[in-house]
Amino acid sequence: MNKSSEHHPVRLRRSVLCVPADNARALAKVAELATDVAIFDLEDAVAPERKVEARAALVQYLTASRPDCEIVIRINAIGSDYGQGDLAAALAANPDAILLPKVESPADIQAAADWLDENDAPETLRLWAMIETPRGVINAPAIAEAGRTFSGRLDCFVVGLNDLRKETGVPDRPGRPYLIPWLMQILLAARGGGLDVIDAVFNDFRDGAGFDEECRQGRDMGYDGKMLIHPAQIGPANERFGVDQIAVDEARAIIAAFALPENVGKGVINLSGRMVERLHLDQAVTLAAKADLIEKRKTRS
């Protein structure tokens, strides 16, 4: 079954820009950017002495204006000094999703889902999970499966390689040779749980060629998009994680072929000499939907 039909509709998450919640100038620019998702960060990007101030500023900003993109708020860990207050502020700001940092077990998802249910959060409010520690990687399949059982809120994994490198001692090498097994493990866990999954940040925003190559790698591994640290990375990410027009045309041909009266109810059809199964139809529907969303974003921008 298509993951979008079993868990959520297709969404564009090619570019996922992280924005410090205490940076008024950065907040004001988000509405002008072509990012698919904006993560307003109350965690790593904000110093401890500014966290309460950043929280209030973010609520005020999102109450007054709504950028034309998916809105996610990254909170501090629920068990930290700021976690509960961040959750309350996020609920007041009405984002599309709340991003939980350093998720290491299903209990982390359950705690957040329980808090949201107890505080009458709308059912449409989703949870995202940062997978950025050794335990998080090891438990990724169980964490993803938790998304099916705890309010159905879990929607997306975001890989955090900076913390993972720090905790494992794996060096930051071009091509990420020693990290690929973990990246694929997280990808498989996400897909098994019906989740989207976002590749980690590329730290040197001045290295356009390196960023482009890492986007290509992430796309080829099956990731939906990339977490970004600078607006200059938005365009290249949207391009790399976009759709190929030839593939879109083929997808529409598959959809049209299965819709023919003589093919209704068939599991396999002959399309121009190629055997096409219903699993290919599922993939075609997803790709065509993504292409439609990209076209709509171009029209609005």
- pLDDT for 190-210, tens place per residue? 999 999 999 999 999 999 999
Burial of 22 (0-12, 13-18, 19+ CB in 10 A): buried
Tally of CA atoms within 13 A in the half-sphere of 242 that contains its CB: 18
User: What are the respective helix, strand and coil percentages of the chain, to the nearest 5?
Assistant: 50, 15, 35
| Among candidate residues 172, 178, 241, the one with its CA nearest the CA of residue 207 | 172
Tell me the per-residue pLDDT of 207-251, one tens digit each, with 9 for 90 and over: 999 999 999 999 999 999 999 999 999 999 999 999 999 999 999
| Among candidate residues 243, 254, 240, the one with its CA nearest the CA of residue 285 | 254
pLDDT at position 8 is 64
pLDDT at position 299 is 63
Tell me the per-residue pLDDT of 30-75, one tens digit each, with 9 for 90 and over: 999 999 999 999 998 999 999 999 999 999 999 998 999 999 999 9
Q: Is the pLDDT of residue 1 over 50?
A: no
| Among candidate residues 80, 70, 120, the one with its CA nearest the CA of residue 101 | 80
Domains of the chain: 3-240 (3.20.20.60), 245-300 (no CATH)
pLDDT at position 3 is 38
Any idea what the Cα angle at residue 43 is, between residues 38 and 45, rounded to 5°? 70
Q: Return the bridge partners of 70, or none.
A: 37
Residues 172 and 22: their CA atoms lie apart, in Å, by 28
pLDDT at position 64 is 93
Per-residue pLDDT, averaged over 140-145, amounts to 96
| Among candidate residues 133, 157, 163, the one with its CA nearest the CA of residue 143 | 157
Which backbone phi and psi does 242 adopt, to 5 degrees? -80, -150
pLDDT at position 163 is 96
Residues 77 and 75: their CA atoms lie apart, in Å, by 6
State how far the alpha carbon of 110 is from the alpha carbons of 6, 20, 188, 301, in Å: 20, 27, 21, 38
Any idea what the Cα angle at residue 25 is, between residues 23 and 31, rounded to 5°? 110
Q: For residue 206, what are its two tokens?
A: 């001045």
Task: Output the average pLDDT for the chain.
Answer: 93
pTM, rounded to two decimals: 0.91
Q: For residue 51, what are its two tokens?
A: 């966290």
Q: Is the pLDDT of residue 273 over 90?
A: no
Q: Return the bridge partners of 74, or none.
A: 41, 99
